[in-house]
Structure formats: C-alpha cells, structure tokens
Amino acid sequence: MSEKKLKRKTSFTGSTEFTNIKLEEPMRYAAGKLGVKEALKHGFKEMGIVRSMRALLEMNQEDGFDCPSCAWPNPENPSTVAEYCENGAKALADEATTNKIARQFFTKYSVEELSQFTDYQLNKFGRLTEPLVLRPESIHYEPISWQEAYGLISEELRSLNDPNEAIFYTSGRSSNEAAYLYGMFVRAFGTNNMPDCSNMCHESSGVALSETLGIGKGSTKLEDLYAAEVVLVVGQNPGTNHPRMLSALEKCKQNGGKVISINPLEEAGLVNFKNPQNLKGLVGSGEDMADIHLAVKINQDIPLVKLILKRLAELDARDKNVFDHDFIAQYVNGYDELLADLVQYDEQDLLERCGVPEEKINETVALLAAKEDIVVCWAMGLTQHENGVQNIREFVNLLLLKGAMGKPNAGTCPVRGHSNVQGDRSVGIMHYVDEKLNQRIEKHLGFVPPAEEGVDTVGAIKAMYEGRGKVFICLGGNFLMAANDTEYTAQALQNCSLTVQISTKLNRTHLVTGKTALILPTYGRSEKDMKDGKLRYFTMEDSMGRVRQSRGLLKPASDHIKSEPELIGELAHVFFDGKHSVNWKAMAEDYNLIRQSIDKVAKGFDNTTERSKGVGYYLPNNVRNLDFSMLPGGKAQLTLNDLPEHNLERDEFLLMTIRSHDQFNTTIYGLDDRYRGVYNERRVLFMNSNDMKSHGFKKMDVVDISSHYDNKKRTAYKFLVIPYSIPKGNLAAYFPETNVLVPYNRYAHRSKTPISKSVKVTVVKSE
C-alpha cells in the first residue's frame, strides 16, 4: 500500500452545518471588568460553584494566578474586588472545567470520527487526562506511559539526519520557566526551528519597533494610559479581546483625556462603555469611549495617517509648535526626508483611499495639533496585512513628530494577545539568532547553540509540506487551525513522521497528524503545581514588560498530567540520557533553578525569584530612557512608507478574519457574538448593505467565499450574509473558519505575518 493510502481520513474543517442563527441589533456598549456575580455565571456551568468562587477571587491578585486570557497588565494595586473581565472568566471556566476526557473516549471515537465534530464541540469534551499515542496504522489514540512517550520522541529525534528536520512550535500561554527550558532544550538539540504564535500575531510590531525605536516591545506602562491626553486605539477590539483595557481608557477619560478609535467597525466598548463596577455604568447609559471614531477602510491606515501628518505639517509650518522640534533635533533621524515625502501626496486622493469623512479628519488634526501626551495602542488590525510593518512605522512617525516618546503618558502600546507571548520571546523563543544570547548560553549553559536561523510559522509549514520537516512538537496552541491555508497546512502536518501536542484540551491539531502522534496533557495556569509538599509557581511578562509571579490553586484535572517545565525537563533528561552540561532533571523539579538560569542568560532578567514578588518588576526598556544608541546615528528613525494598493476588481472584496466575542483564538467557548448582535452561529459574513444591493445579495443568503491567489481557488463554504455597518468593499468573517482562504505564501514583508486582515475574495451564492 502506498504511503498516501495509509493516510487517515480526517476532516480539517469539521461540520459546516448551520446552528440556528438569531440576529439582534449590535450592542452599543461593552463592559470592562466584570462584577463577581456575572462572572460566576460562566464559571458555575463549567467548573462548579466552589471551584469558581475560589478561582475567580484569586485571578490577577498578587498571590493568585495570572489570567489565562490576554496579556493586558494588572494594575499595581489590584482592587480588592474582582480584577477580571467576562472573557477572562470564560477563559478560566474553559480551562478549569470539570468535564474530562476519560480513557474510554478514544476507544469509542476514532480520530476520523472526532474530526467530524466542530471546534466548538471538540473543546467541550473537556480536559485531557493522560498521555496518549496514535500509532502508525491506527485510527484510535491509546494510553502510553510518560517514560515511553519520552523514549519515543527521543528515538525519533535521534533518527533524524539533521536537527533541522525537527520543528518546535510555541503558543503564548506558557510560563517564562516552561518556555525557557523548552527553548534551551531545542538549542541543545541543535536547531533554531522555533516558530511561535507571535509570527502570526505581533511579529510586524516587533520588526517595526525594533528598527525605528530599538526594542521590539511597547514603551508605555499602564499608568501612562490613565494620564495621556490622547489615546488612539487602532485596529483593535478591546471590548472583546482586552476588556480590562476599557477600565484604563475610562480612567483616561475621567482625567480629561480623549480617545480616538480607528477601525472599519464601530466595535462595542469603543463606541460606548459600561463599567459594571461603578454606579454610573450600572444605572446610566455608560460613557462614549471614543470621542472620535474614524471608520477607515481595511488596510487604508497609511493614507489616513499620511493625511493627518500632512495637515499637521501645514499647521506646524505656520505656527512652529505642532511638532516637537527640540525632541526631533535631539532624538530623531529623517525629519527632512519625511516632510519632503509628504508633499508629494494629494490630499483628495488620501481622503478617498481611507474613506473617512473629512470633518472627522479635521477634528482629529485639531486635537492632535493641540496635544503632546499621546499613546497609540494597536493589535491585529495593523499587523496582519502585507504592509503590516509599514502600518506600524507610520504610527511611530506620528508619535516621534509629536515628541510623544520616552516621557510619562505617551508612547507605543502594541496590545499583546496571549497572556505570556511577550515573556516567551524575552526568555528565548525565537527562530532568529541573537548572537549575544548565544554567547551567554555558551558561557552559562556550557553548550554551543546553533548559529543558523530557523523557520518561523510560514517556513515551518513549507518545510513540513516539502518533507524537510519531519518531527513537529507543539508547546500549546492549535497549529492547524491557527495557521493559514488550512488544506496546505493539514497536508504539511500529515507529511510528518511524528507530531506531538503538549496541551490542555482537545483540538483539531490532535486529529490531523503525522504518522505517529502524541498528546502530552499538561496543567493549566489555574492549577496547583505541587512538588514534595511545596507549591511551585511561575512568572509571566505582561504586555507592558512587567514580570510577575503566578500560582495556581485548583486541584489539577488529573493525577496523570504534568506541568510544562516538568515534562520538558524530563524529556530533555531522557533525550540526553542524563549526560549533558545542563541538569535538566533538577530544573524540572525546582523552578527556582530555572529562574536563576534565566537571570544569567535572558536579557534584562535579574534576581527574578525575589523581584517578581508582589507587583513584580519591569524589564529594561531603552525607549523609556530615550536611549537610541543601538540605531543608526544613535537616533530614533522616521520612515517613508508606501500607500497600499489592492486593485480590486468589481466582484472582489477585501475580507478581514476576526474574533467573535465567544472565542479565544481557535478555542470556541460559545456560538454567540453578543456585541455584534449575532447569536448561535459562527458561519456569518458581515457585508455593507449597499454592496449587498449592488451584488444581488439578501440578508441570510447562503454564500461561498473564495480567494484566487496564484490561480488557485480556495473556498470557505456556506456562510450567511449579514448586513452590517462596515465600509463598502470590505467584509468581515470569523477565524478560524475562514483560514482556508488565506494563502500560506502571502504575508507581511519582513515579519512574515499572514495577511489575515486583507484577503482578496469573491462571494457567490452557494449551489
């Protein structure tokens, strides 16, 4: 029998049945932090009353655990009441669910059968409770001991011709300790093949900020948002994805600050906001969070900013006080070139491209001209385009011209996704080579790390597809559904000899696998990690660069699962047969040893065990000290960025793939998108009602969406058309259902972030 015929018949999309949609008007407001009572409602169903009460009271508190949802920082003094949001409560309930997958489950269902379930249904089965193996000829997972699993992986790794035939992915939920141990094991094994979720997320921010400001992270602290004069929220939906950020914006407004939202959609929470924890929010109609909403067309942020800069430059030419000339003279490179470049653009053309009404531009220009303390926040609406890096550089231009950098209440704020995605990078999860890091590894860990750049997510998919990547190990995440071009990625995974998932819950990447597959179940953030009667804890780095401790408190889902550092350390110990310059086993047991090692090897970490206590400590950040010595001329860089061109044909739209209110990335908590007024259905396509008319679509028409890159038709079948307030020519639909449309070889220049927010598509009625 040929290799191909042996392949399991697993579905990489799951069912496309509709689930009984209900529509309402989109909501005008969103809540930030959540009252205890409401949050408990989410917990009770999944976790039971006692577990919910205990866990929610400890979430984001000083001696508690870090919320497993987003990376928004906790305030220095968390309020005595709840410091969490609705979606944090959902994330916790999802992780700490009392639903468990028992041994008989995999006897009952084959992987082929399981793959017919939707992602929502797969997640609902609950927590994984013991290590499992899917053997080459089998279609059923079966139990395997930890030792046997380590042995199997080690043998497979040793059998490779070249360490670069193995690829090690990381999702951003892992602690600093787990990620560090993993990253160092991968290097000791001999490769830099470390793609991570960041490649699909904020990589464009990292690239843009590094080259303009000398550090790939943001410069603001939470308090800076409170007192800023203007906060721009660009390409970001905080009401759903970072709800606690709304509390910070509310504080800003109470202090007299203004909020500008730049988004094709009027996202709830930016338009109007209710804080359930203050009386006004509960009884009144809430606050309008955004003072100005700029409904930019998808991927037309650069024309918008250029237009604003042009107008500001005109005012500055007259008054000489709109830009910060002292700051520019001392700290900034490229001023004359930027001004000369702006002159060539036609204002009317820019206006038409961005699609924003002129009076809104005027309002924005007047506000920005008069203010100095400006913060720009952004997320996926800027990073996930072909020109993602340039998008961000253009906003950096604005901040630098205004001197809004390296001082209180001003600066950059890329709002990170996964709760420890920033920390994972800081402790060494990256596919590129950092020579200084390599020198420290050699000095302190006693081995020579590889000097050759590894693959990122795009490179990993291609390598596996082409047979160059043979073993694929994932520390968390759901690679198949998170990555683009689902069909291609599925084939890539199936070409592997071994795929390994270290995870908490079942997902589709466990079902579309290599010849042999392993599931290694691990603790969630909220679980108590005990060793010899002592509680162990982790550290995380939040979106603003602060390192803090996190300790779980709930009884783990099973006695047969292991913490991430423990299983990584044990695997490394087995792989090296106990003979290596690093004592992996000791670190697997005692996380203080890992932290001591991080202090020596990772940049900026220092006395972490002590300093991460309580409110924690900030990692060094050169922008906060206005130190640009690492950049050309020792200065921050203004940059020239091109206008994006999409050249849409009459039947083409630009589609953004976004999150609903009831999901965390590929984990689907529920089928509602309450703020957008959609209930019990995810297969929806948001369309401008004029486009519906001109293209002959009616509300609830069933359509297929196709992209046509490289003469290949990729289709996402069966979506319901919903009229929505979205710019003409633009569409929105949820990820991961629409990932099939995003070609694997279309990504942002230089950061290689897939173009999840500007996919050119056509739409036709389903047959």
**β-strands 132-134, 374-378: how paired?**
unpaired
CB closer to ligand MGD out of 222 and 636:
222
Q: Does 201 bind Mo ion (CB under 5 A)?
A: yes
Q: Does 34 bind ligand MGD (CB under 6 A)?
A: no
Question: Looking at 218-226, 427-435, 475-483, 609-617, which segment touches ligand MGD (CB under 6 A)?
Answer: 475-483
The amino acid sitting at 159 is: S
Q: Does 505 bind ligand MGD (CB under 6 A)?
A: yes
Strand partners, 541: 547
Q: Does 417 bind ligand MGD (CB under 6 A)?
A: yes
Least distance from ligand MGD to the Cβ atom of residue 388, Å: 10
* C-alpha separations of 32 from 90, 256, 548 in Å: 14, 19, 22
Taking CB under 6 A as the criterion, the residue among 166, 201, 290, 574 binding ligand MGD is: 201
Token pair, residue 638, equals 């203004």
Q: Does 417 bind Mo ion (CB under 5 A)?
A: yes
Residue for token pair 């917990």:
43
Q: Does 449 bind Mo ion (CB under 5 A)?
A: no
Question: Looking at 196-204, 308-316, 462-470, 619-627, which segment touches ligand MGD (CB under 6 A)?
Answer: 196-204
SS3 320: coil
Q: Does 377 bind ligand MGD (CB under 6 A)?
A: no
- Among ligand MGD, Mo ion, none, the one that 298 touches (CB under a kind-dependent 5 to 8 A) is ligand MGD
- Among Mo ion, ligand MGD, none, the one that 312 touches (CB under a kind-dependent 5 to 8 A) is none
Label residue 177 exposed, middle or buried (CB < 10 Å: 0-12, 13-18, 19+): buried
Return d(Cα 246, Cα 251) in angstroms, integer. Answer: 9
Q: Does 69 bind ligand MGD (CB under 6 A)?
A: yes
Q: Does 570 bind ligand MGD (CB under 6 A)?
A: no
Residue for token pair 């046997």:
148
Token pair, residue 337, equals 């070139």
Return d(Cα 756, Cα 384) in angstroms, integer. Answer: 5
Question: Looking at 24-32, 276-284, 413-421, 424-432, which segment touches Mo ion (CB under 5 A)?
Answer: 413-421
704: part of which helix (H) or strand (E)?
strand 702-707
Least distance from Mo ion to the Cβ atom of residue 418, Å: 6
For CA atoms 67, 486, 455, 134, give the dihedral sign: positive
Token pair, residue 376, equals 């720009």
Token pair, residue 95, equals 């992780």
Q: Does 477 bind ligand MGD (CB under 6 A)?
A: yes
Question: Looking at 168-176, 312-320, 424-432, 594-602, which segment touches ligand MGD (CB under 6 A)?
Answer: 168-176
Least distance from ligand MGD to the Cβ atom of residue 665, Å: 3
Return d(Cα 362, Cα 359) in angstroms, integer. Answer: 5
Return d(Cα 344, Cα 347) in angstroms, integer. Answer: 9
Q: Does 379 bind ligand MGD (CB under 6 A)?
A: yes
> Using DSSP, how many helices (H) and how many strands (E) does the chain show?
31, 32
DSSP string, 733-749: EETTTTGGGS-TT-B-T
The amino acid sitting at 740 is: V
Residues 6+ apart with CB under 8 A from 495: 464, 465, 467, 514
Least distance from ligand MGD to the Cβ atom of residue 45, Å: 17
- Among Mo ion, ligand MGD, none, the one that 503 touches (CB under a kind-dependent 5 to 8 A) is ligand MGD
Return d(Cα 33, Cα 490) in angstroms, integer. Answer: 38
DSSP letter (8 states) at residue 198: G
Subset of 281-340 contacting ligand MGD (CB under 6 A): 296, 298-299, 301
CB closer to ligand MGD out of 624 and 661:
661
Taking CB under 6 A as the criterion, the residue among 93, 194, 361, 475 binding ligand MGD is: 475
Contact 14, 740 (CB under 8 A): no
- Among Mo ion, ligand MGD, none, the one that 573 touches (CB under a kind-dependent 5 to 8 A) is none
Contact 159, 166 (CB under 8 A): no
Least distance from ligand MGD to the Cβ atom of residue 204, Å: 11
* Contact pattern from residue 218 through residue 237 relative to ligand MGD, giving x for each residue in contact according to CB under 6 A and a dash for the rest: ----------------xxxx
Q: How many CA atoms lie within 13 A of 413 on its CB side?
A: 32
Least distance from Mo ion to the Cβ atom of residue 181, Å: 23
Q: Does 246 bind ligand MGD (CB under 6 A)?
A: no
Residues 6+ apart with CB under 8 A from 380: 201, 235, 236, 417, 658, 756, 757
CB closer to Mo ion out of 126 and 417:
417
Contact 227, 233 (CB under 8 A): no
* Residues that contact ligand MGD, how many (by CB under 6 A): 60
Label residue 709 exposed, middle or buried (CB < 10 Å: 0-12, 13-18, 19+): middle
Residues in the chain: 767
Return d(Cα 81, Cα 305) in angstroms, integer. Answer: 40
Q: Does 129 bind ligand MGD (CB under 6 A)?
A: no
- Angle of CA points 269, 274, 277, to nearest 5°: 130
Q: Does 549 bind ligand MGD (CB under 6 A)?
A: no
Taking CB under 6 A as the criterion, the residue among 476, 644, 670, 727 binding ligand MGD is: 476
Question: Looking at 98-106, 356-364, 500-508, 533-541, which segment touches ligand MGD (CB under 6 A)?
Answer: 500-508
Q: How many CA atoms lie within 13 A of 621 on its CB side?
A: 23
Return d(Cα 472, Cα 193) in angstroms, integer. Answer: 10
CB closer to ligand MGD out of 28 and 440:
28
Question: Looking at 26-34, 181-189, 538-546, 656-664, which segment touches ligand MGD (CB under 6 A)?
Answer: 656-664
Q: Does 420 bind ligand MGD (CB under 6 A)?
A: no
Question: Looking at 43-51, 195-203, 215-223, 638-646, which segment touches Mo ion (CB under 5 A)?
Answer: 195-203
Return d(Cα 172, Cα 201) in angstroms, integer. Answer: 10
Q: Does 235 bind Mo ion (CB under 5 A)?
A: no
Q: Does 411 bind Mo ion (CB under 5 A)?
A: no
* Contact pattern from residue 589 through residue 628 relative to ligand MGD, giving x for each residue in contact according to CB under 6 A and a dash for the rest: ----------------------------------------
Q: Does 561 bind ligand MGD (CB under 6 A)?
A: no
Least distance from ligand MGD to the Cβ atom of residue 600, Å: 26
Return d(Cα 165, Cα 479) in angstroms, integer. Answer: 18
- Among ligand MGD, Mo ion, none, the one that 170 touches (CB under a kind-dependent 5 to 8 A) is none
Contact 592, 519 (CB under 8 A): no
Residue ranges that bind ligand MGD, judged by CB under 6 A: 69-70, 87, 171, 173-174, 197, 200-201, 234-237, 240-242, 262-265, 267, 296, 298-299, 301, 379-381, 384, 417-418, 475-479, 482, 502-505, 507, 522, 524-525, 564, 656-659, 663-667, 735, 739, 742, 756-757
Residue ranges that bind Mo ion, judged by CB under 5 A: 201, 417
